């Protein structure tokens, strides 16, 4: 009976030992915490403990090493002032009995430094910017580490314009210069651009992530005068003004012309009660261009202005389209007619209404006017402003000097080609990403005949832009007299593919071993990444992104995801579900069984 009992004890010990070979084969060390993020020059402390018998336990590190210590199950790696960038501490244990003489547990350390300064400036430019021209801004981030956790963001006011991340793996402090191309318009006059450097060091890092911002760069934009309407009718009154005031930078000069003015006037406003009824043309001028506006001043009583009325004060006609405008009078006259390069009407007597009519208008530079010969022998005329327009034959988008996928963080130029459009001064080209308006460009050209226009946009795509659609739109806003809504022509979308390296959301994950739980290393990257696993418990190469935890021994498993742009690793710490006797406990039981059997 005694022999049978000890035989049972022996077999039970062997059975437990066999089960522990799979369940507790990992290095019997626990680090707390498992990863540390430390500000350069700050203190750090990490505990390493074990629950097994050993010959000694210690820490190896360039700073803060702890000599091998016996009779202790917990030791601390501690540095008061950590300044070693490439530090790779590990805790080790020397077994008392067993197959392994020593095992180690490495501690991932991210030593970081926030920037000394973040500043913004213009590149190769000083002073005001010109509307529609391209300028380069530069953000300088000084002495920051590690740069792989850095994101530089560009803002205009509170609007995020762009952001850049970095694939550099250097751990020591570096300087980074990031550029942004802009095409300011008049709405940007007085805008504030600024940049921000953010260090996102993961869940173990400071929360929220530290951010350093530049001082704002105040932008002054020069733009020419542009009136909202080209003609305005004013009824003469003591309180009513002919107000030609318009926004422009630099501030514009004003000049007035009229048959009723005998002296030069430089004011932007005229008091209507001090003027004779008639036509007054105000021209607003600055160093970038000019724009004119016509005021038709009418009296409240007797009318001593030219006694002609047009039923349209301005007409907008599609090239090749038809147009007709009536000219009428209510006074006795010797004759009235229309002068025009197309559709002229000879002087006609005994009629108070005549019509300028063209069935197919093809003269771009047409200036029709109606005239009347009065009984007193004088003649007066009323001019008709005519805008002939043509919508684009085509609008297309393309990349400049590039084909194929784009690389995250690099700069690319897109081009929008608008073919055969007129008049270009009414054209606006808008850039979109999806349904988001990115930028728009207007033109100061005064040419009236059709032209081709090429507009470019610089982009810095990131991984969020993979699969994005960029497109451009040409809009002709011809004013209140033009077609409503304004005609718009869009390019086909340009589908953008962006290549970017793998990047795990966190570097370490603890998994409890279970039949349904997986070690999932899957990460988004383009091109699709390859996966490799490394562990003391793996005997063969595995290329899958997922491992089933129930088929693995507890321990540490490192997965590395790699594509042509870089790699990123994630550590899985697999732990068993229950409390099992340690290897040393089983070994003690086994030795006891052998001793008892030998006594028998």
Model confidence pLDDT, tens digit, residues 279-293: 899 999 998 888 889
Q: Are 500 and 525 in contact (CB under 8 A)?
A: yes
Q: In terms of domains, do 47 and 100 share one? A: yes
- CA–CA separation, 481 vs 496, rounded Å? 39
Choose among 570, 502, 592, 584: nearest CA to 73. Answer: 584
The highest-confidence range among 135-139, 294-298, 534-538, by mean pLDDT, is: 135-139
- Tell me the mean pLDDT in the region 18-42: 73
Choose among 65, 128, 119, 123: nearest CA to 92. Answer: 65
Choose among 107, 96, 106: nearest CA to 73. Answer: 96
For residue 127, the SS3 value is: coil
Choose among 330, 370, 334: nearest CA to 352. Answer: 330
pLDDT at 424 over 50: yes
- Tell me the mean pLDDT in the region 201-225: 92
- Supply the pLDDT for residue 547: 92
Cα dihedral sign for 23, 25, 29, 31? negative
The highest-confidence range among 165-169, 305-309, 397-401, 446-450, by mean pLDDT, is: 397-401
User: Each residue of 546-577: b (16+ CB within 10 Å) or e?
Assistant: ebebeebbbbbbbbbbbbebbbbbbbbbbebe
- Supply the pLDDT for residue 45: 95
Q: Which residues does 533 contact at the CB level (< 8 Å), separation at least 6? A: 521, 541, 542, 547, 557, 558, 559, 560
Q: In terms of domains, do 102 and 120 share one? A: no
- Tell me the mean pLDDT in the region 375-395: 91
- Tell me the mean pLDDT in the region 465-476: 95
Question: What single DSSP character describes residue 17?
Answer: H
Q: In terms of domains, do 88 and 167 share one? A: no
* Residue 528 located in a structural domain: no
For residue 330, the SS3 value is: coil
For residue 407, the SS3 value is: strand
pLDDT band at 304 (very low <50, low <70, confident <90, very high): low
Domain boundary among 77, 112, 147: 112
The angle, 0 to 180 degrees and rounded to 10, between the axes of the packed helices 2-23 and 583-599 is 160
Average pLDDT value for the chain:
86
pLDDT at 25 over 80: no
pTM of the predicted protein model = 0.55
pLDDT at 465 over 90: yes
Q: In terms of domains, do 151 and 52 share one? A: no
| Number of structural domains found in the chain | 3
Q: In terms of domains, do 94 and 176 share one? A: no
Q: Are 399 and 461 in contact (CB under 8 A)?
A: no
pLDDT at 412 over 90: yes
pLDDT band at 300 (very low <50, low <70, confident <90, very high): low
What DSSP line would sit under 494-549, residue for residue? EE--EEB----S-SEEEEE--TT-EEE-----BSPPEEEEE-TT--S----SEEEG
- Supply the pLDDT for residue 14: 33
- CA–CA separation, 300 vs 313, rounded Å? 19
Domain boundary among 73, 96, 112: 112
pLDDT at 226 over 80: yes
- Tell me the mean pLDDT in the region 220-231: 89
* Residue 595 located in a structural domain: no
Q: In terms of domains, do 207 and 187 share one? A: yes
* Residue 561 located in a structural domain: no
Q: What is the maximum alpha-carbon separation in the chain?
A: 151
Q: Which residues does 94 contact at the CB level (< 8 Å), separation at least 6? A: 54, 55, 56, 57, 68, 101, 102
Of the candidate ranges 12-16, 439-443, 480-484, the one whose mean pLDDT is the lowest:
12-16
- CA–CA separation, 586 vs 13, rounded Å? 6
Choose among 595, 582, 591: nearest CA to 28. Answer: 582
- CA–CA separation, 227 vs 208, rounded Å? 48
Q: What is the pLDDT of residues 247-282, one digit of tens each?
A: 999 999 999 988 888 888 888 999 888 888 888 999
Tokens of 310: 């047009």
Q: In terms of domains, do 84 and 133 share one? A: no
- CA–CA separation, 162 vs 346, rounded Å? 63
Q: In terms of domains, do 97 and 153 share one? A: no
- Tell me the percentage of the chain whose pLDDT exceeds 90: 55
Q: In terms of domains, do 125 and 213 share one? A: yes
Rg (CA), the chain: 41
Choose among 515, 574, 580: nearest CA to 21. Answer: 580
Choose among 187, 150, 153: nearest CA to 167. Answer: 150
Tokens of 433: 């990403």
* Helix-strand-coil split of the chain, %, nearest 5: 10, 45, 45
pLDDT band at 396 (very low <50, low <70, confident <90, very high): very high
Q: What is the pLDDT of residues 504-559, one digit of tens each?
A: 888 888 888 887 888 999 999 999 999 999 988 888 888 899 998 888 888 889 99
Tokens of 199: 């260090």
pLDDT at 592 over 80: no
Q: Are 338 and 423 in contact (CB under 8 A)?
A: no
* Residue 20 located in a structural domain: no
pLDDT at 351 over 70: yes
Q: What is the pLDDT of residues 307-320, one digit of tens each?
A: 999 998 889 999 99
- CA–CA separation, 444 vs 285, rounded Å? 13
* Residue 186 located in a structural domain: yes
Q: In terms of domains, do 408 and 465 share one? A: yes
- CA–CA separation, 120 vs 197, rounded Å? 11
The larger pLDDT score, comparing residue 394 to residue 512, is at: 394
504: left (phi over 0), alpha (psi -120 to 50) or beta: beta
pLDDT at 242 over 80: yes
Q: What is the pLDDT of residues 156-191, one digit of tens each?
A: 999 999 989 887 888 899 999 999 999 999 989 999
Domain that holds residue 54: 29-112
User: Each residue of 429-461: b (16+ CB within 10 Å) or e?
Assistant: bbbbbeeeebbbbbbeeeebebbebebebbbbb
The larger pLDDT score, comparing residue 22 to residue 590, is at: 590
- Supply the pLDDT for residue 100: 56
pLDDT band at 302 (very low <50, low <70, confident <90, very high): very low
pLDDT band at 11 (very low <50, low <70, confident <90, very high): very low
Which residue carries 């992530």 as its tokens? Answer: 209
Q: In terms of domains, do 117 and 217 share one? A: yes
Q: Give the domain CATH number at 420.
A: 2.60.40.10
- Supply the pLDDT for residue 13: 34
pLDDT band at 96 (very low <50, low <70, confident <90, very high): low
23 phi, psi to nearest 5 deg: -85, -30
Choose among 243, 232, 248, 281: nearest CA to 444. Answer: 248
Domain boundary among 471, 499, 527: 499
- CA–CA separation, 104 vs 60, rounded Å? 10
pLDDT at 503 over 60: yes
Q: In terms of domains, do 202 and 117 share one? A: yes
């Amino acid at each position: 009976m005694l022999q049978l009992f000890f035989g049972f004890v022996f077999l039970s010990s062997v059975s437990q030992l066999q089960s522990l070979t799979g369940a507790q084969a990992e290095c019997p060390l626990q680090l707390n915490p498992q990863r540390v993020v430390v500000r350069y020059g700050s203190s750090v402390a990490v505990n390493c403990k074990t629950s097994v018998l050993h010959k000694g336990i210690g820490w190896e590190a360039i700073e803060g090493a702890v000599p091998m210590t016996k009779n202790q199950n917990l030791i601390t790696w501690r540095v008061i002032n950590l300044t070693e960038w490439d530090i790779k501490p590990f805790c080790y244990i020397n077994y008392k009995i067993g197959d392994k003489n020593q095992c180690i547990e490495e501690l991932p350390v991210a030593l970081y430094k926030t920037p000394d300064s973040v500043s913004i400036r213009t590149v190769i430019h000083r002073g005001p910017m010109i509307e529609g021209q391209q300028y380069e801004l530069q953000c300088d981030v000084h002495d920051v580490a590690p740069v792989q956790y850095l994101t530089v963001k560009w803002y205009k006011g509170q609007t995020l314009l762009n952001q850049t991340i970095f694939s550099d793996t250097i751990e020591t402090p570096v300087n980074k210069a990031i550029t942004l191309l802009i095409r300011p318009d008049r709405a940007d006059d007085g805008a504030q651009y600024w940049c921000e450097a953010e260090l996102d060091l993961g869940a173990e890092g400071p929360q929220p992530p530290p951010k350093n911002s530049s001082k704002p760069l105040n932008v002054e934009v020069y733009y020419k005068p542009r009136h909202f309407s080209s003609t305005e009718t004013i009824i003469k009154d003591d309180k009513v003004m002919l107000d030609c005031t318009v926004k422009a930078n630099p501030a514009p000069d004003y000049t007035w012309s009229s048959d009723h003015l005998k002296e030069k006037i430089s004011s932007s406003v005229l008091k209507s009660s001090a003027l004779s009824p008639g036509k007054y043309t105000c021209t607003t001028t600055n160093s970038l261009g000019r724009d004119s506006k016509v005021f038709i001043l009418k009296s409240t009583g007797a009318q001593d202005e030219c006694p002609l009325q047009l039923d349209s004060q301005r007409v907008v006609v599609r090239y090749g389209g038809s147009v007709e405008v009536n000219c009428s009078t209510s006074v006795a006259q010797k004759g009235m007619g229309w002068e025009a390069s197309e559709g002229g009407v000879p002087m006609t007597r005994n009629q108070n209404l005549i019509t300028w009519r063209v069935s197919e208008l093809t003269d771009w530079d047409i200036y029709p006017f109606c005239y009347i010969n009065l009984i007193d022998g004088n003649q007066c005329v009323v001019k008709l402003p005519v805008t002939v327009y043509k919508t684009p034959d085509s609008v297309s988008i393309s990349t400049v000097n590039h084909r194929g996928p784009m690389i995250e963080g690099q700069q690319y130029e897109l081009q929008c080609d608008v073919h055969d459009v007129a008049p270009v001064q009414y054209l606006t080209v808008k850039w979109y990403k999806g349904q988001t308006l990115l930028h728009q460009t207007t033109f100061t050209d005064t040419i009236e005949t059709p032209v081709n226009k090429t507009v470019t946009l610089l982009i810095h795509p990131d991984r969020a832009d993979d699969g994005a659609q960029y497109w451009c739109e040409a809009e002709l806003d011809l004013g209140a007299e033009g077609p409503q809504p304004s005609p718009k022509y869009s390019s086909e979308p340009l589908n953008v593919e962006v290549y970017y390296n793998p990047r795990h959301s966190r570097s370490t994950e603890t998994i409890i071993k279970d039949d349904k739980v997986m070690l999932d290393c899957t990460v988004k990257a383009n091109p699709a990444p390859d996966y490799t696993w490394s562990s003391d418990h793996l005997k063969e190469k595995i290329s899958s992104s997922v491992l089933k935890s129930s088929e693995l021994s507890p321990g540490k498993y490192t997965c590395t995801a790699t594509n042509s742009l870089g790699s990123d690793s994630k550590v899985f710490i697999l732990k068993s579900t229950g409390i099992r006797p340690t290897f040393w406990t089983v070994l003690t039981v086994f030795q006891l069984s052998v001793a008892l059997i030998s006594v028998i």
